[in-house]
Amino acid sequence: MSVQARNNVVVKGQGPLTLVFAHGFGCDQNMWRMVEPTFAKRYRTVLFDMVGCGKSDVGAYDIDKYSTLAGYAEDIVEIIQEFKQGPVVFIGHSVGAMAGVMAANLSRGLISAHAMVGPSPSYITDEDYPGGFTRGDIDALLSTLESNYLGWSSAMAPRIMGNSETPELGAELTNSFCQTDPNIAKRFARVTFLTDSREDVRQLREPVLVIQSSDDFIAPRAVGEYLTQVIDDCRMVLVENEGHCPHLSQPAACIDAIQTFLDQTCGHLPA
């Protein structure tokens, strides 16, 4: 099976950089439709669906491989190796950003910079880290999801999206969740909400941009601030936005933040 077919890889544009866009839990590459076309005018862009999501080849889903985020990171390494031209900037939303972190650490030098939208290396608070949830919160969330995935999706997607004045976005996210195979979604949820990537982000050596929503109950502002403290070269842009998906609800602000980051870092990226 080809990498393109496995992950429904779509390549557009040409330019001095390759921008690779990774979606978050319950989503697919279509979630970048308000952001990616702007960059395809100036750069090579690569969109893909994680195995089990969107139009990926569900037959490629392997329970053991995808029981950890490392399995998704291995796929990302293969996608970049096959489709990149020039330096690569990895643009990841939520858990997609953490998969990109792991990919960068698996293959040093493959990714030259990261732009992370609503990232969280761990959702569970401990005495040294403000994850936003207790372990009990996460266990309850997973228990509800596993017992009634469609009901959980209908209730949670609008909360995750926020921006109640644009209910069509919440409805879109609900629909995206509901189109994912429930068994795969349940396993991916455990990977998403129980993975602790704090040591992985500490190992990053590439420049990092964090795009942080001002009001995001999934990845609160304190998490973005934590990342700026533990990553050597990391800057945060705060976007006035309610919810976890500013690339859908505030795409212009995300485009501006990413373009400014590219303008500031392009001349310093290794070829």
Q: Which amino acid is at 6?
A: R
Which of the residues 23, 93, 114, 244 is marked catalytic?
Answer: 244
Query: What is the secondary structure of 136-160 as a DSSP string?
Result: HHHHHHHHHHHH-HHHHHHHHHHHH
94 is catalytic: yes
256 is catalytic: no
3-state secondary structure of 86: coil
Among the listed residues 100, 42, 97, the one whose alpha carbon sits nearest the alpha carbon of residue 74: 100
Give the model confidence (pLDDT) of 60-96 as tens digits.
999 999 999 999 999 999 999 999 999 999 999 999 9
Angle at 154 between CA 245 and CA 152, to 5 degrees: 100
For the chain, the structural domain boundaries read 3-268
244 is catalytic: yes
How many helices (H) and strands (E) the chain has is answered by: 12, 7
Angle at 19 between CA 40 and CA 173, to 5 degrees: 80
pLDDT for position 169: 72
In the predicted model, residues of the chain with pLDDT beneath 70 are: 163, 170, 178, 267-271
Residues 6+ apart with CB under 8 A from 266: 16, 17, 87
CA 76 and chain centroid, separation: 12
Which of the residues 28, 49, 93, 94 is marked catalytic?
Answer: 94
pLDDT for position 271: 55
Give the model confidence (pLDDT) of 43-62 as tens digits.
999 999 999 999 999 999 99
Which of the residues 112, 216, 247, 249 is marked catalytic?
Answer: 216
Dihedral angle at the C-alpha atoms of 192, 162, 239, 244, nearest 10 degrees? 10
For 233, other C-beta atoms within 10 Å of its C-beta total 15
Nearest-angstrom CA–CA distance, 257 and 51: 29
Beta bridge partners, 213, equal 239
**Domain spanning 3-268, CATH architecture:** 3-Layer(aba) Sandwich (3.40)
Give the strand pairing for 10-12 and 44-47.
antiparallel
Paired tokens of 82: 């096959």
